[in-house]
Structure 1
Amino acid sequence: MMQRIAVLTSGGDSPGMNAAIRAVVRKAIYHGLEVIGIQRGYSGFIEADMGPMNLGSVADIVHRGGTVLRTARSEEFKTPEGRSKAFANVQRFGIQGLVVIGGDGSFKGAEVFNREYNLPVIGVPGTIDNDITGTEFSIGFDTAINTVVEAINKIRDTATSHERTFILEVMGRESGYIALMAGLAGGAESILIPELRQSIEEVCDKLKRGYKRGKLHSIIIVAEGAASGLEVGKQIREMTGLETKVTILGHLQRGGTPTAFDRILASQMGAKAVELLMEGCRNHMVGMVAGKVVASPLEAAFHGKRPIDLEIYNLANILSI
């Protein structure tokens, strides 16, 4: 019978991770389990930077961005020697199950660890990129796109006043979900994403058509994996003669108070992870599919990226004519 579990956050932080930690801890305690909080992800796992968590450990954190457990990327955990050190701490602290809150890289480490040491692990998807297969939403995505939309709204005021074209570069090295969804919600004229290449000539042609019919401004969203916002701005100036300004949001998108949606999603997923461990489930992840929290094999999360929604991409293009 399971009596003690551990929880860690790994990889890039995302708003709502604290709500997930809170749900794991309180759901576990409600069912009589003890919880060990691991600091700094897999680095803390290796270095035994961990300790007991109680109800007070997660008080007043549901609304806070970031992660109270902190996070880090660990090259050492990718090695057999590093994982061996982590397992020694599993034995030392009597850990019988592990909840990993993070992205596909974090899940891959958890899957390998389970395979080598047979420790039950459950993944909770926490990444603003929303690129994990097996779930329609990951923790932090909703907050991130709302942050971008708020920036678009503010930039639009200035763009209209000065009759300029603004380029907004957002996060997304391999996934364009932030750019796509924020661009649709913010009414962007063009959205550049790594999954679907669009030529700068097409972007410029759309800009010219808009200004010919009297548009006072244009906003273009660029995912960092598709192109450099600065380079796109330079090319547009050279090809159209339009005055162009560039804003790079950077890590601003990672922070901030999580939205109600992300808090609810994180709470449901964190609680479900504990339930799965108690039921004897291992090597799985939780996800939101068709409005329900479900479990799927952990390895599915890192065997290919979640594809972009072409219907939404086409809709964004139609509405921006």
Structure 2
Amino acid sequence: MAGEQYASGQRFTLEHRLTPDYFVTRLREDVLEGLADPPRSLPPKWFYDARGSELFEEITRLPEYYLTRAEQEILDARAPQIALDTAAGTLVEIGAGSSRKTRTLLDALTQAGTLERYAPLDVSTSALVEAGEALCRDYPALHVTATVTDFETELVLPHSDGPRLIAFLGSTIGNFTPVRRRDFFTALRAAMTDQDTFLLGADLVKDADVLWRAYNDSRGVTAAFNKNVLHVLNRELDADFDVDAFDHNAVWNAGQDRIEMWLRSRLTQTIKVRALDLTLEFGDGEEMLTEISTKFRREDLVAELARAGFRVREWWTDSARRFALLLAAPDGR
């Protein structure tokens, strides 16, 4: 239940802030709001059941998908400077998942002698427990205070007496609409103190062909990842989507600087969502939007952060200038 505490040893605790029916309730709401009538859409969070998470890990290793490697290149080069610049005693990670990339920051902060605590936030209890216990084994002095929460509805930063480094890695910020980004940045700034800093990962606008291939890989892994959301709906809401009756379609929307992932119906079909007593009529070629992935220009992202009360102190890219990590502080610091 919400607020439930879990402890493993003396250095790892986990707090549940989500009710047992949270996910099924949100899924029902999102399906009714997004699929009942055209234009149809679903939030990308529903990709990530166990199978979807496995597929995404496979995507990160594909030759066409440069994002993960580019961000890791920056972290490897800049983590010592980040540690010295922030002097963070607590590393907070939003949407932590497996915490794989986080170890680069943990190593640097440990070497700098400031790190006391790692505070990951994620919707997945299993991911937090697995990562938290492994980190406690590998970092004997580290305290891990994990929180099971949906940061899109409740952004909770754990209290700290010293500076916190809040990390939002990957390209998740690109999944947000402009309004959602504004609200997220504003809420984050309100939760931060003047001694905290914010580390943000963002994919950059680049050649359209490079972007297209990153979301249309030759092995079809991204297509399977996209279609996996239909398996989730079938299992969780007793729907009868024929997964093979939909095609993956990822396109570059140059007008909005974003990749859009769609599922396109291959024929006229009727789908029943029995748990909602809902009938969906799809026309031949009709699409549902399953993800947006905005790509950023430096001046635009810096301006968005400034409007929310942040000043960008550092902007780093990988050697090919494909991806950016930026370090921001509350304006006036």
Bin the TM-score by the shorter chain: 0.3 to 0.5
Find the structure with the greater CA-based Rg: 1
> TM-score w.r.t. structure 1 length?
0.34
Query: What TM-score results when the alignment is normalised by the length of structure 2?
Result: 0.33
Q: Is the helix fraction higher in 1 or 2?
A: 1
Between 1 and 2, higher relative CO (CA 8 Å, sep ≥ 6) is seen in 1
- Structure richer in strand, relative to its length: 2
